[in-house]
Amino acid sequence: MNYLKRIILATAAAALVAGLCVSAQAKEWRGWNIHVAGYPNTVAMDKFAELLKEKSGGRLTVKMYHSGTLGSQPDAIEQLRIGGIEIGNFNLGPLGPIVPEANVVSLPFIFKDVDHMWRVLDGKAGDIINEGMTKYGIVPLAWYDAGARCFYNSKHPINTPADVVGMKVRVMNNDLYSGMIAALGGNPSPMAFAEVYQSLKTGVVDGAENNWPSYESTGHYEVAKYYSLSQHLIIPETLCINAKVWAGLSPEDQKIVKEAAVESAMLQRKLWKEREVASKDKVLAAGVEYNEIPDKSAFQAAMKPVYEKFLKDNPNLKTLVETIQNTP
């Protein structure tokens, strides 16, 4: 009788544990994304959610919250770090003040072009950045394309650093971006992305900087009609997961999550290239004045104090900077 009782109790305990495991696995994750419906990142994030559910047989699911509905990007980064949300799509710019290794990609002109950035992220430097982010509770799953950021404003075309002097320019909240504008003689104005349109419209700022799709999708081209191809920043975005959630997954589930993320990134990069062309065509048709800057050497020379200050404050990152610069 005692033996039978022990069997029953053991079976009940096993069922309870199994139930708890199923419950933990069945919890629906929450995903954050700042972009609007139809944007390449938004479509790719939804694809990630679809693939995750499909590949896991419904055990792993994530509900995506787009357009920054769960808070601003800095708030969402903090939420992901502490586990308030599980999945996020973040630009490495706002991640930089938290993760020193991630901040390196925000040095102006550190990448030669977008292809150079991918080679860097796929190599030794990318491994160092991944490890740095993981230490701060953020595990990168895949890299999304964010193109090249360029200046736009409501005053005049920018061809030389002299054209930035005295201009009030919105930047993301990162000392490197403020330092970049200050080094060019402008007045940096860090502010939330959602505030930029009205600030441009009312003259609180004269200009901002971003890629073609963001310039178009936000309507910024309506209130800042001069777009100058400076390509001063080429900053990737990451699809990432909370480190504790990641560590709690089985190796099999980690493989599923990673595969779904990489597949979503391939879709995002394809859609990004298409969207860049469409966005550029749309704003030019709307009357935007666009100019290329064939010789960026004056801008690059002006960045010397930005690099010097960064390496003085972060001497341990000198090797990482050099590794990126020396990547062919």
| 13-63 pLDDT per residue, tens | 333 333 334 334 458 999 999 998 999 999 999 999 999 999 999 999 999
Query: Within this chain, do residues 137 and 154 fall inside the same structural domain, yes or no?
Result: no
Query: Within this chain, do residues 131 and 166 fall inside the same structural domain, yes or no?
Result: no
pLDDT of residue 20: 37
pLDDT of residue 27: 81
**Are 151 and 139 within 8 A, CB to CB?**
no
User: What residues contact 3, with CB distance under 8 A and at least 6 apart?
Assistant: none
Comparing C-alpha atoms, which of 293, 303, 301 is closest to residue 183? 303
pLDDT of residue 22: 39
pLDDT of residue 26: 55
Query: Within this chain, do residues 83 and 141 fall inside the same structural domain, yes or no?
Result: yes
pLDDT of residue 145: 95
Query: Within this chain, do residues 306 and 226 fall inside the same structural domain, yes or no?
Result: yes
Please give the Cα distance from 110 to 139 (Å, whole number): 23
Task: Give the pLDDT confidence of 127-152 residue by residue, as tens digits.
Answer: 999 999 999 999 999 999 999 999 99
213 token code pair: 């799709």
Query: Within this chain, do residues 248 and 137 fall inside the same structural domain, yes or no?
Result: yes
pLDDT of residue 250: 97
Q: What residues in the chain have per-residue pLDDT under 70?
A: 1-26
Query: Within this chain, do residues 135 and 258 fall inside the same structural domain, yes or no?
Result: yes
User: What residues contact 36, with CB distance under 8 A and at least 6 apart?
Assistant: 42, 66, 67, 217
- Average model confidence (pLDDT) across the chain: 91
Query: Within this chain, do residues 51 and 134 fall inside the same structural domain, yes or no?
Result: yes
Look-up of token digits 């950035």:
117
Query: Within this chain, do residues 87 and 221 fall inside the same structural domain, yes or no?
Result: no
Range of the domain at 126: 27-105+114-146+235-277
Q: Could you give the dihedral angle defined by the CA atoms of residues 34, 37, 40 and 46, in that order, rounded to the nearest 10 degrees?
A: 90
How many domains does the chain divide into?
A: 2
Query: Within this chain, do residues 193 and 213 fall inside the same structural domain, yes or no?
Result: yes
Comparing C-alpha atoms, which of 274, 306, 269 is closest to residue 117? 269
* CATH number of 299's domain: 3.40.190.170
Cα within 13 Å of Cα(241), Cβ side = 22
Residue 1 lies in a domain: no
Please give the Cα distance from 298 to 256 (Å, whole number): 47
